[in-house]
Structure 1
């Protein structure tokens, strides 16, 4: 059928792979952005941690350069020892990025500071500081400038505090604390972050680019599978049409002709048979039943394969199709444009949908009227069948099978159309199919 042929360039079926690929790319870029944000956050934390570790190592090296000058006299506050240690600190330790040095005894008293205003003050220890004092090691943390021990520090200059244990010659433990400007740590972390991030982003972009050919291949395979499915559906429908034509031809040329001959024969002997009261009524009844059977078979032939569809168009075929409903007392109102000119493939598709819908009305709707409307809008044709019955039970289409309806829906969608069944205000059902007119 023409509706299933490959679409021309720029038509919607051709655009489907591109749309799918664009969706894949958009989803991939969104995932890439989220991954980049998460990776950047994690990388920033790692870079900051490494910068803090480097700062702690720097403080540890600086502390070792003056550790040999830590004496019992310094711990006891002897002026000469304090002056000697202070001179070494200012020469070897103080200087960017280290801005403050303190020495604490195990009571939490400052025994030395390059800011002499703190010497002799007792502040006590936090748990981590006391642990380093007793067990050794190095601990680094961002200083709390609101603590009393930091009252002389500028409030707008975050500091990194590094603690480590030193001992006097007699083995007396002291806690050496150095302050570094945290801006130097942040600058180092930023430098590391900027060095590593471009490579990480480039790797992510390359991964996304490598996925595009695979995505395109999958989209093409999906499109090929859809085309194959549509062709199989079309072949099934064509086979159904061929079978309907064969059955209609066999019925017309066989049993219908036989019954017509019988009807003529009965009509010929009917008048003579009335002379015999026992035979006449029987012959009349047989003739009537035969003519009724012929009419029913002809109605069945129209239902199986409507010759009016090819000869007179969709309007005439729909009129023939609705005739059995009229015999059941259902009023059918047809609204088909007189100048409607559609391809045979389109008319055939619309006829099948109408036939399935009217069969449902006859079997399930208990309707008193049906409106069948055909209209052409902007290069598309829309057929609407609305009844005033009770409607189909919930899940009826799926439960009862109705392969024909599902097939028509698949075919309409495959032909760049749509198929819908919905409820009607006041009761009943509305079936609507829309397909390209050409």
Structure 2
């Protein structure tokens, strides 16, 4: 009998690890394409015969679609159920990487990357709904931080492995290795996650966010602009400063490690705070400082690029995890799946706008210095909005809870 109980405990622990692995992978696999653009950027520019600024359009195609679809992703996930949504996510990601392996033109790559945008739109609503339904309240903040760290695990994987594979087999082969991973994850998800009851009455109308959710969405938009532009052009900027492509990939890996530490460490801290808006304010201010350090980079002073990358990983990366944790702790923001979808829409909109805007500035008369400076301005704006959010929450000014559809939609 004791043996049976022990065996059951081992099975339960194994099931728990697989469950958490599914959540991490659901965040990692769709976002990996974003870090792949950053690490494989030099290879894409050479092979597709495009100027570096065009890389921003790849990010825009993915996250622009993700931002648009995120407006309806919450109701869709509620109707399908979390398990079915996660399986669909992994299948779509596998399809995207298969199309990337077959693409022979910049247009083909852009369309393949856009497919990943569909999976990205599902990731936060599906994982948040799974956590809301399956994780005890006292563990929610730590599980959110852990699953959000999956995004940075993808950065670590992209920085350490993809440039080496691309050197040997080409960038298409480097991405093609992800296809069987996605298919396997779809199967594992179906086996280890509990089937939930879909909400047949979920509405696909656009909903109006509460006032505090709207402020949080603006903050996440600013964070998305800065993060997306930073990662998309980090590899290209580093090579212009005299680094090799492999060393530039190591920068992304370091960014990933710092992001994992930040999200795993700061999200539980945010869960214990009375108002995590102050933590968001601090992170955004420090992110602006990190970009300011990067501006000082030159071929003879590359340490500032390493320092700035570490700073961005420890600060800006954690903002999305902290924001998602706030949604689960305070229902004034709205229902878990719907509010997560709307917050993701704002975050992804920032990802869509940031890289092409940065790319345009970097090729203008202001160059990279002007582009980096613009990111500092965006982060300062986000800091101001975070201060406004903290004041609103302290005064009890939540506004209407997200519930009613927008008229005419």
- Please give the TM-score of this superposition, normalised by the length of structure 2: 0.19
Q: Judging by fraction of residues, say which structure has more strand.
A: 1
- Please give the TM-score of this superposition, normalised by the length of structure 1: 0.18
Higher relative contact order, structure no. (Cα contacts within 8 Å, ≥ 6 residues apart): 2
Computing the radius of gyration from Cα coordinates, the structure with the larger value is: 1
